[in-house]
A and B are shown apart, each in its own frame.
Chain A
């Protein structure tokens, strides 16, 4: 097996330092194809299993010490006997944790007890979601025009489009939108009869090209909605950036070409600046030695909470348009795979009570992020610790999770799931034994046979024992929209994530544990492991 070539070491004596509170763990260290194993010996109860995928790019070592920086923001220090052994282990870890091939990655080997391959991959949200839409309105249809991914490589096979537009027209629309991402339905708001759409930018270019079918598609969206409904195009770039995009073949919808549609610009930060903000925040949180006098201004300088605020207020604007102005809203930026999805998915959480349930939220993530073609493989490869500055890395999905956490913080009764689910999604998006977040699009997942060869995270999370722990005990269903406050005073640092490994063991986890023990006492508590994922 090829992994063997990368493992340069046999077992070695090692000591794991676990912060100032916990005692160090001593034992025998082994490196396997996918794991780092530290076993304290036969009498020891707690083995350390660390999935090598969790190790972020940076492994620094000097004589006898290896510092592992993990993608879930944890930092571990290993003291190893022997300089030679240290070097060998470090090199092995580095090589194994940076393997890029998808089909040799751990999800393709992971076979947990109690789960069957293929389970929960029947989560086909576009189709499932269409069933719901079809009950509410007749104006939309499910199109399989992208069945072989030829029209749009980043869309799933089936998409929901206006009934009045046929597949040929869709094909021409695809030619007019970057990456073939023509406007599709994201959410149908039954009370107002209007919709939320998403796409990529139109390819108007310097010549200000137009596309009759694209214009017709948007016209029929308005025609299919409540009569006289206005349309809003919410561009997640500044007006100037949208204009500049014409030079490289992109652009934005011309007013004259789309009667009834009004354009709004709400610039959202993306890509590199967002990643840098994340890195700075993690550095600030981990920097325990530095004097804490400037903590708040340091936090402000990271700008992470400013990004949270911008994302939430743009989502509020989109939701406001749909619910209050009873308008159809089309959201796009340039590629339509990042901030576009951030806005449409958050707007749905604000508006749609179903998306705030445990199942509904999982479906939302699957439909609006995974199947909608957010390039997880590129965006969530390294997390915050990386020497190189990977070009495509960006914590857009984490920003989404943070915004959801803020919603849950402000509306403690309104989400059926608790912080635990958000933390799990963060962890699994960056490194996971499950296949759900592998690859960057449905097309790639098909090529790699992800569905048949790996387990779905959803089946892992929905095992009764696990699922129960992810629930919010305060949840009470409510049909109303939840409008978050976006004032900076209302937005908090997500301590559960960013200070997870820094704060002392007590707070919320233990507290919730106690609450749960109380609430769940009817059901007999078995000895539950959160996931079958190896635990620290």
Chain B
């Protein structure tokens, strides 16, 4: 008894649970071989290995490698361990030990994954078993280096809904009430000639001609001109995104750019100023002048106010996450957990991103002022800020489909460089372009969902699923750096969308406590006291951190969802009955969207 360490108390049988849970959804299991396979997935090899589990020690097992995944099943009868890892998750494969290595399990492979874990396999020194496995894994985990296609192009899965249909820019802008008197939709970038990293369809001020846009493009980094992201349905103030102006050391000015921002300002009659949020720390913005960049000085841009939001660049974020991994995997830091967590600065970065987004949202909503958001190139921090601010301002984006549209619009179509930031199929694990910017955004969304448990239609599993497939390469959704590249590769024709998987089984991703509320602005608290490390994501591989087994919780959620639907249905029946009695021909029947918010007041 004395020897039983407290930390082991909940580890019994949970390990299996947790690892089984990782098996992917929607997979047809081939019962004859009992290894899950997707349509289009082909088996390459299998091998007997010893999996060195950091929590339960070495486990003998058989590993199956396909062109999509690495699958391991233990051969020991008392342990039902299963590992199911898409090869896309692998960031680096290293050999450990040499032919002369002594000591048990010192010879084998060490695999670093992008999702906060490492896998270690010990192999026999005889024969060429390690060389074979190393080469096969390298080939299929890093297909780009071997002129092989990424698995998404081989995937033949069929779903009953088409996720590529979720986002249609014209429809989304129409939902926002665009075009209107002040804003027009332009096809100037139809062939990606104005800006190769922007989408084909842009919303710009009505008073700016296409020639104006071309001239402005010359003064903005990578031609990413200021364009509309979102318009407030009532006060008509807007969120505009762009890249930095090319001011440079000499302090260049561009009359067209200055005029263009003034035109944007004038679309809003209420306030005589335009607010510019530069996501960078002030010093970085100044330093960028040396490489031709910079920021809008107030002597050149009249009627603007500029704020720096102090968010650090992709390199700082990458190092910060690396430190988080150091303290959570494989062993979690015990004795000084909180101060170690603090020293990673991860939560502090989350706080700054959230704080920035809150400022943007507040300026638009309460300040009734249009804002321009940019960083350097306008595809990392800018996307974080605009997407989060839109999530705070517009309840539509808090539904499952709305969130998909938000990601599709602000991230994918506006050229967040997913391919470079994640390194899909690329073997260069130390590439300085890699950075967890999108993960950080999803973390911020999770923090918001913690603070507003009834405001989001989706649950934690939805967010984790998105992150899992950010790396998996099973879907085409996050492939490539921009829309023009995706179009060239015909991604929508040749791959399946992640949203097909999710939308064909939405119930699984629903938050039972969701209460639809229109026009409610969410301001999360971005103080450190109210931010938490997302343990269920960052430390999910450690069985000792597991909380209540997810199955019963989800089961209960499903019951609650059913209960909720029953009440909503009953309410609608009652309202129908009520409106039949009161039948007033002058008022049109209200759509379900308008009825929903009454749910809570009615009961």
Contacts and interface: CB of A to CB of B under 8 A. Distances in A.
A489 B547 contact: no
Contacts of B544: 485, 487
A317 B1 contact: yes
A518 interface: yes
A525 B601 CA distance: 12
Interface in A315-336: 316-317, 320-321, 324-325, 327
Given A292-B527, A504-B525, A297 B339 contact: yes
B529 A285 contact: yes
Q: Contact residue range for chain B?
A: 35 or more
A490 B545 contact: yes
A476 B338 CA distance: 33
Contact of B548 (A293, A411, A511, A519): A411
Contacts of A499: 529-530
Given A297-B339, A300-B338, A485-B547, 16 more contacts: A295-B527, A296-B347, A297-B338, A324-B1, A324-B4, A327-B1, A413-B548, A474-B553, A474-B556, A485-B10, A487-B7, A487-B544, A504-B525, A514-B600, A518-B567, A519-B563
Interface stretch (B32-40, B241-249, B449-457, B588-596): B449-457
Interface in A480-496: 482-490, 492-493, 495
A489 B4 contact: no
A473 B599 CA distance: 18
A261 to B, nearest CB: 12
B567 to A, nearest CB: 6
A276 to B, nearest CB: 18
Given A296-B528, A485-B545, A488-B338, A515 B454 contact: yes
B1 A489 contact: no
Interface of A: 232, 262, 264, 285, 292-297, 299-300, 305, 313, 316-317, 320-321, 324-325, 327, 409-414, 473-474, 476, 478, 482-490, 492-493, 495, 499, 502-504, 506-508, 511, 514-515, 517-521, 525
Contacts of A262: 1-2
A517 B603 contact: yes
Given A317-B6, A485-B10, A485-B545, A297 B530 contact: no
Contacts of B1: 232, 262, 264, 317, 320-321, 324-325, 327
A495 B337 CA distance: 18
Given A487-B545, A521-B603, A296 B342 contact: yes
B262 to A, nearest CB: 36
B515 interface: yes
B103 interface: no
Interface stretch (B48-56, B64-72, B265-273, B531-539): B531-539
18 contacts: A264-B1, A300-B337, A317-B4, A320-B9, A327-B1, A412-B547, A412-B553, A413-B548, A413-B553, A482-B548, A488-B333, A495-B529, A511-B513, A515-B513, A518-B563, A518-B567, A519-B560, A525-B603
Contacts of B124: none
A228 to B, nearest CB: 15
B9 A507 contact: no
Interface string B442-454: 0000000001111
Interface of B: 1-2, 4, 6-7, 9-10, 328, 332-334, 336-339, 341-342, 347-348, 451-454, 513, 515, 523, 525, 527-530, 532-533, 535, 539, 544-548, 552-553, 556, 560, 563-564, 567, 599-600, 603
A492 B547 CA distance: 12
B341 A486 contact: no
Nearest to B12: A483
A484 to B, nearest CB: 7
A412 B603 contact: no
A511 B338 contact: no
A492 B567 contact: no
Contact of B535 (A294, A296, A476, A489): A489
B6 A313 contact: yes
Nearest to B328: A489
A483 B603 CA distance: 38
Contacts of B523: 504
Given A317-B4, A519-B563, A489 B337 contact: yes
A489 B539 contact: yes
Nearest to B337: A488
B547 A295 contact: no
Contacts of A489: 328, 332, 337, 533, 535, 539, 545
A264 B2 contact: yes
Contacts of B513: 511, 514-515
A78 to B, nearest CB: 26
B333 to A, nearest CB: 8
Contact of A511 (B341, B453, B525): B453
Contacts of A508: 453
A519 to B, nearest CB: 7
A484 B10 contact: yes
Contacts of A305: 338
A503 B530 contact: yes
